């Protein structure tokens, strides 16, 4: 690493958090929130996770 330079993550996350279950749960929630802000024509992330075939059918209809 170059002296004086550090990497930082967005959303107030730290690299050590990525190695913990709680940190990954938090990152997952950040991602789900991001997806929920997107296209409302698509199923919710929760629906997409639990019924991927429905999600794919919806994408096929939109294309």
pLDDT in tens, 36-52: 776 666 666 666 677 77
- Which candidate, 10, 9, 45, 13, places its Cα nearest to that of 26? 13
**Tokens 């004086």 label which residue?**
4
Which positions of the chain have pLDDT values less than 70? 1-4, 38-48
Q: Cβ distance 15 to 7 under 8 Å?
A: yes
State the Cα torsion 29-30-35-37 to the nearest 10°.
120
């Amino acid at each position: 690493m170059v002296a004086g330079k550090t990497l930082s993550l967005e959303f107030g996350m730290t690299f050590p958090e990525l190695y913990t279950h709680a940190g990954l749960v938090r990152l997952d929630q950040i991602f789900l929130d991001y997806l929920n802000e997107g296209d409302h024509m698509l199923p919710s992330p929760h629906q997409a996770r639990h019924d991927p075939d429905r999600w794919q059918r919806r994408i096929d209809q939109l294309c």
